[in-house]
A and B are shown apart, each in its own frame.
Chain A
Amino acid sequence: MEFEEELKFFESKRMEWLEKYRDKYVLIKGKELIDVFATLEDAYKEGIKRFGNKPFFIKQVVEVEPIEKTPSLMFGIIHANL
């Protein structure tokens, strides 16, 4: 999986960062916290500035991870007809 290292690093820091950066967006590359931003857009701009069009990891610091749901895709029923 892409970002395995970054995700592991983020999880190891989540509780600590919740105290300092709650609801902010962290920009991470490998095991390095690059910077913290108020919006995802600002984090993306900085990521592009530093790394160009290469993968970099942005994550909002929240206590409970939101679960995204796309049921039509999940069940393959986008065009189900009788």
Chain B
Amino acid sequence: MPIYDVQVSPPTGLRLRGAIFPVEISMPQVLIDHLTSQGVSIPQPVRGPALVDTGASVSVVDISVLRNLNISPIGVASVSTTAGIAQQNLYPARFRLPRIVIDISAVLGADLSSYGIIALIGRDILSGFLMIYHGPAGRITLVH
């Protein structure tokens, strides 16, 4: 069942802007439940565009979004960088895509502000989906 189907017009727009989905990023449910039980207020989810990036092995969320949501890191990942392998913090997060909620165990935090997106959807999330990228028609379909 498609959970998202978008037609970009003209079709070349899809090549220029990429497969972009509206997402909402929030604290993971476990953390929400914990803070709620303590009477602590929960930060509002952050909404914005996310770009599907099949080249990324792991999803990435803008670091300012993670800070605004007050999500603490839960470990590190070895990440390939231009300067070699570096350790970068991992954060838990909840993604709400159109019609589906995904609690992601660990995403990377990085500065995405200059790209006009709040997240990169990597192969960790895509591993649970079928995505049809119809270039000539300028259409993308996401199926769960």
**A residues engaging B (CB < 8 A)?**
1-3, 7, 40-41, 44-45, 47-49, 52-59, 65-75, 78-79, 81
Q: Are A69 and B34 in contact (CB under 8 A)?
A: no
| A81–B82 alpha-carbon span in the complex (Å) | 21
Interface size class of B (residues with CB under 8 A): 35 or more
| A56–B140 alpha-carbon span in the complex (Å) | 38
List the B residue with the shortest CB-CB distance to A41. B105
Tell me which residues across on chain B come within 8 A of A56, comparing CB atoms: 72, 74
Chain B contact residues: helix, strand, loop or mixed: mixed
Tell me which residues across on chain A come within 8 A of B87, comparing CB atoms: 1, 3, 7
| A54–B71 alpha-carbon span in the complex (Å) | 8
How near does chain B come to A58, taking the closest CB pair, in angstroms? 5
B70 at interface (Cβ–Cβ under 8 A)? yes
- Of B2-10, B49-57, B94-102, B129-137, the one contacting chain A is B49-57
| A69–B81 alpha-carbon span in the complex (Å) | 8
Tell me how many residue pairs across A and B have CB atoms closer than 8 Å. 105
B45 at interface (Cβ–Cβ under 8 A)? no
Q: Are A7 and B76 in contact (CB under 8 A)?
A: yes
Q: Are A68 and B79 in contact (CB under 8 A)?
A: yes
List the A residue with the shortest CB-CB distance to B27. A53
Given A56-B74, A58-B75, answer yes or no on A67-B85 (Cβ-Cβ < 8 Å).
Answer: yes
Give 21 A-B contacts (CB < 8 Å), ordered by A residue.
Answer: A1-B76, A2-B73, A2-B76, A3-B73, A3-B87, A41-B30, A56-B74, A57-B75, A67-B79, A67-B80, A68-B57, A68-B77, A70-B57, A70-B120, A72-B56, A73-B112, A73-B120, A74-B80, A78-B117, A78-B120, A81-B16
